Amino acid sequence: MRDFTITLVAGTLFGGGLAVSGMMDPSRVRGFLDVFGAWDPTLAFVMGGAVLVMAIAWLIQRGLTQPVFAHEFNLPGTQSIDAKLIGGAILFGIGWGLAGLCPGPAISALIVAPISAGIFVISMAAGMVLHRFNA
């Protein structure tokens, strides 16, 4: 139950941050990607804030012997850049540019725009299922 509560609080905080920053609005994302038109730098500030928070979290993590809400750290290992990573990044970028949504904001957007976000989330879930069969 404690894990569920921590996950719920973290997800709610993340979703609230997406809502407050306007990142659930696909036009805001498209505006950021339109560097030669009506460029909207808002997403750059959101990304910069996320990088800053994560940098601080990494510094704090180095000083901890174990996580606050777990028995041990479960950090991913360093992996080299390969064709699968590059292909996935390209596919993510194309989908992000076309839809103006990525997974986190899309799930949050289900509350404010259930039809358009729902189409994206269903397509995303279908892609995840297809990947499982192909992996």
DSSP string, 32-85: HH-TTSS--THHHHHHHHHHHHHHHHHHHHHT-SS-SSSSS--PPPP----HHH
- Residue 6 clears pLDDT 70, i.e. is over it: yes
Global pTM?
A: 0.67
Position of tokens 């809502």? 19
Average of per-residue pLDDT across 5-13? 88
Radius of gyration, CA atoms only, the chain: 17
Is the separation of the CB atoms in 41 and 32 below 8 Å? yes
| Residue-wise pLDDT tens digits, 81-105 | 889 889 988 988 888 888 888 888 8
Report the C-alpha gap between 105 and 20 in whole angstroms. 11
Report the C-alpha gap between 26 and 38 in whole angstroms. 14
The pLDDT of residue 135: 62
Report the C-alpha gap between 82 and 79 in whole angstroms. 9
Average of per-residue pLDDT across 5-15? 88
| Residue-wise pLDDT tens digits, 44-92 | 898 899 899 999 998 999 888 888 888 888 887 777 888 988 998 898 8
